Amino acid sequence: MKSEAFGVDADAYTSHELHSLDRIWPETNCYVDVWIELLHALKLDPVAVMAFTVAMDFEGDQWTFFKPSLSDIHALYGIDVQELAIWRPLKLHIAEQVSQGRVPLVEVDAFYLPDTVGVSYQLEHTKTTVGAQAIDLDAGILGYFHSAGYFELGGADFDAIFNAHAQGLAPYTEFAKLDRITRHSPTQLEALARDQLVHYLARVPSLNPVTRFRARYDTDIKWLAGSDMTMFYKYAFATVRQFGACAELASTFLNWLSQAEGHAPSAGADFEACSSAAKAMQFKLARIISTGRAVDVAAPLDQMESGWENAIANLQRQYGA
79: Cβ contacts below 8 Å, ≥ 6 apart? 73, 176, 177, 178, 180, 181
Q: 36 and 163 share a domain?
A: yes
Q: What torsion do the CA atoms of 149, 18, 197, 305 make, to the nearest 10 degrees?
A: 120
Same domain as 148, residue 169? yes
Q: Is the pLDDT of residue 223 over 80?
A: yes
Asked if 201 and 292 sit in the same domain, the reply is: yes
Residues 152 and 6 grouped into a single domain: yes
| Domain contains 71 | no
Domain count, the chain: 2
Is 166 domain-assigned?
A: yes
Looking at per-residue pLDDT, the higher value among 260 and 38 belongs to 38
Among positive and negative, which fits the CA dihedral 58, 59, 61, 64? negative
Q: Would you say residue 58 lies in a domain? A: no
Last residue of a domain, one of 177, 210, 236: 177
Q: What is the pLDDT of residue 321?
A: 59
**76-99 mean pLDDT:** 96
In this structure, are 190 and 170 located in the same domain?
no
Residues 206, 310 within the same domain: yes
pLDDT tens, 143-174? 999 999 999 999 999 999 998 776 678 899 99
Same domain membership, residue 192 and residue 87: no
Shared domain for 14 and 154, answered yes or no, is yes
Task: Judge whether 175 and 103 are in contact, CB under 8 Å.
Answer: yes
- Rounded Cα gap, residues 274 and 153, in angstroms: 37
Q: Is there a single domain that holds both residue 165 and residue 240?
A: no
pLDDT of residue 215: 96
Q: What pLDDT does residue 264 have?
A: 63
**What does the pLDDT read at residue 137?**
97
Residues 215 and 163 in one domain: no
Q: Which tens digit of pLDDT belongs to each residue from 295-315?
A: 899 999 999 999 999 999 999
Domain end, chosen from 149, 177, 205, is at: 177
> What's residue 265's pLDDT?
67
pLDDT at 86 over 80: yes
Name residue 26's amino acid: P
- Domain assignment present for residue 75? The answer is no
Mean pLDDT across 216-227 = 94
Q: Are residues 136 and 258 in the same domain?
A: no
Q: Is residue 55 part of a domain?
A: no
Half-sphere exposure of 319 (CA within 13 A, CB side): 25
Bridge partners of 150, per DSSP, are 145
Domain that holds residue 199: 186-319
- SS3 (DSSP) at 315: helix
- pLDDT tens digits, one per residue of 108-126: 999 999 999 999 999 999 9
Query: Is 73 among the domain residues?
Result: no
Q: What percent of the chain has a predicted confidence (pLDDT) above 90?
A: 91
Answer yes or no: is 74 within a domain. no
Same domain, 158 and 215: no
Higher-pLDDT residue of 265 and 148 is 148
- In this predicted structure, the answer to whether residue 280 has a pLDDT above a threshold of 90 is yes
Q: State which of 128, 144, 177 marks the end of a domain.
A: 177
